[in-house]
Amino acid sequence: MAESMTTALGVLLRRLRDGRGLNLREVAQLANVDHAYIQRLETGAKTSPSDEVLTRLIKALKAPKREALMLPFLTRYPDILPALIDFVEDDENISFEEFRGLATLAHRGTGRPDYPVQLARLRAFWDDDDG
């Protein structure tokens, strides 16, 4: 598969799988999902698993709460850039709400989003809104 097909969902699934040190067949066995289907999700050939399959994968991968919320979100919004996943996964202090805000902002404008700047703006906006 071409690298350009990779989706944010696929990137997150792969990161979770790698984080547990599991191969596709091991995740497939734990989740009772065909390993080829998981591979298609990771490569972007498939983008919308059923809620049941997603729940099984979340359990098999022992996804932390934030990522367990991110996965269904990514199935509903398949156009989110994979780079957002890399940015969020590299900073455990980014909440699901902040991820969702960044994902929404990423759909506006052109070019590659500047996630650190956007995150700072979101946080400043929310801080002003709370005060």
| CATH number where 124 lies | 1.10.260.40
Average pLDDT rounded to a whole number, residues 75-100: 95
Q: What is the pLDDT, as a whole number, of residue 57?
A: 98
Residue with tokens 């359990």: 59
Count of domains observed in the chain: 1
**pTM exceeds 0.95, yes or no:** no
pLDDT at residue 44, as a whole number: 94
If you write DSSP's letter for every residue of 73-121 in order, what string do you get?
A: HHHH-TTS-HHHHHHHHT-TTS-HHHHHHHHHHHTSSSS---HHHHHHH
Least confident of 42-46, 52-56, 90-94, 107-111: 107-111
Position 74 confidence tier, pLDDT thresholds 50, 70, 90 = very high
pLDDT at 2: 41
Q: How many CA atoms lie within 13 A of 14 on its CB side?
A: 15
Domain of 17, in residue numbers? 3-130
> How would residue 60 be classed by pLDDT, with cut points 50, 70 and 90?
very high
Q: What is the pLDDT of residue 3?
A: 44
More confident residue, 58 or 106: 58
Residue 37 pLDDT > 80, yes or no? yes
